[in-house]
Amino acid sequence: MITKKELIIALLTLCLTITLFTLVPTKSSPGEYDPWIDVNDDGVIELMDFYELSARFGTFGTPVNKTALILELQTKIDSLNTSLTELQSRMEALEARMPKEGCISISPAAFTPELDTQTYHKNSGFLRGQGSFYTGVQLPNGATVTRITVLLEDVTNSGWVGVYLMGYNITIDYPLTIPMASVATSELGAPGEVMLYDDTISDAIIDNRNCEYTLWAYFSKDDSSLFIRGVVLEYEYQ
């Protein structure tokens, strides 16, 4: 016959057995990768990270507010981007205000003699004759003339040739500075084939609304050793 004590022991044993069999071993999940825990920043949470942490175990100091640090860095980046944008805008504004360069060339064939009775010879490569020759000049309105260059030849000591930039204000019927710019040889010596220039221009800003502009070439005599090959006008504009 089972005693009361033996029955209690049997019931306790049964309960313990059931409890042990119902306990299923589980494996903990590693969770998501956290870069703040990756001490050596190699992309893996591993023993080296624990080693780095253990090496500093027990130390103390001022904690870093990582969120505040990220926000501060982002603010600095935004400020730098704003500064770069402003600098770019200023550079573009300065480039827009810097003058650009341009030029026009005038062929000898463009010149016309002042009188029908003048003797002269001209083609696309040279002009020679006696007396005055003229051609109109069209430059951009508002441009500033910076230089006139003339390619010519003078191998005679008994004659000379000159080229002059002229301007006339048609609204007040009055000439601009006479001349605005000029280059010329002399009878004191034959320079040969030369390129002469003048960069001291008077009334240099082109005003097409009120003024007209002309090139005047003058030959002291008609000589095969005295001729113009071409003219270049340089200018700046905004």
- Class of the domain covering 101-237: mainly beta
Q: What residue segments make up the domains of the chain, in order of their start?
A: 101-237
The single-letter DSSP state of residue 110 is: G
Whole-number pLDDT of residue 17: 62
State the alpha helices, DSSP H only, in the chain: 4-22, 47-55, 66-97
> Model-level pTM greater than 0.75?
no
Rg (CA), the chain: 47
Which residues fall within 8 angstroms of residue 215, CB to CB, at 6 or more apart? 106, 111, 134, 135, 136, 137, 163, 164, 165, 166, 231
Sign of CA dihedral 104, 108, 110, 112: positive
Whole-number pLDDT of residue 164: 98
Q: How far is CA 133 from CA 39, 64, 163, 186, in A?
A: 88, 86, 9, 18
Residue ranges, the chain, pLDDT below 70: 1-30, 49-51
Whole-number pLDDT of residue 21: 54
Distance CA 137, CA 218 (A): 17
Whole-number pLDDT of residue 27: 52
Distance CA 164, CA 52 (A): 86
* Residue 211 near residue 145 (C-beta atoms within 8 A): no
Whole-number pLDDT of residue 48: 73
